[in-house]
Amino acid sequence: MTYVSGLGPSLAQNIVNYRAKNGAFKSRKELLKVPRLGEKAFEQAAGFLRIPDAENPLDNSAVHPESYPVVEAMAKDLKCGISDLIKEKSIRNTIKLDCYLSEKTGMPTLVDIMQELDKPGRDPRSAIKVFEFDPNVKTIADLREGQILPGIINNITNFGCFVDIGIKEKGLVHISNLAEKFVSDPTEIVSIHQHVQVKVLNIDAERKRIQLSMIIN
């Protein structure tokens, strides 16, 4: 758990201690009862943490809690339960994703949701490499222009996205540096919690600002 976005060794240990004292978690929301695990850490980590046998089947999937209302709306429109939506591919195939587009939910997010509903409870460790930040980068002072670093997107705006590279300061990838083509909407290229490789373009240590690029060549 120490490599899960938003956690680290201290919060990971707090989760283990809470579970040892109170028993297995019954829902993702219960994670908010863990000492020092606040809303921001929950937002970053929840999608990576599974709760087997939870009342809400989405708690045992990679669907992030912020997307639960979208899935609930799908189930309501199809007059079925969330469990039915997960179990029956024939039901999911009738969903028209365009109906659920909004300012907060773009098509990439909707596609991700459908992919996760297709394989609920899958252990991501069996299919993907465990994510790790660069162990040599512990503070902004360790950064150098031209470095290639692993990161996790933790915020998307209309002018680009912010990437967690394992230090206190988050780096900005401006929309012009998202891809080697014109991008009008960052969500066409990136999604929240996506793992990416970024290049360090500029470091302003005094103002604690880091400019990154996803164009690596």
CATH classification of the domain holding 199: 2.40.50.140
Q: Report the predicted TM-score, pTM, of the whole model to 2 decimal places.
A: 0.50
Which CATH number do you get for residue 4? 1.10.150.310
Same domain (yes/no): 72, 120: yes
Encode pLDDT of 25-81 as tens digits: 888 888 888 888 888 888 888 777 888 888 888 888 888 888 899 999 998 999 988
Same domain (yes/no): 198, 145: yes
Cα 27 from Cα 153, distance rounded (Å): 25
Cα 193 from Cα 201, distance rounded (Å): 22
What is the per-residue pLDDT for 24?
Answer: 85
Share of the chain above pLDDT 70, in %: 92
Number of domains present in the structure of the chain:
3
Note whether residue 133 is domain-resident: no
Are the CB atoms for 198 and 163 separated by under 8 Å?
Answer: yes
What residues contact residue 213 under an 8 Å CB cut-off, 6+ apart?
173, 177, 198, 199, 201
Same domain (yes/no): 58, 104: yes
Identify the DSSP state of 131: P
Between helix 68-77 and helix 107-117 the angle, nearest 10°, is 70
Encode pLDDT of 163-181 as tens digits: 999 999 999 999 999 999 9
- What is the pLDDT of the chain when averaged over all its residues? 85
Residue 162 structure tokens: 């912010």
State the residue range of the domain holding 17. 1-49
Same domain (yes/no): 114, 62: yes
Per-residue confidence band for 2, with pLDDT thresholds at 50, 70 and 90:
low
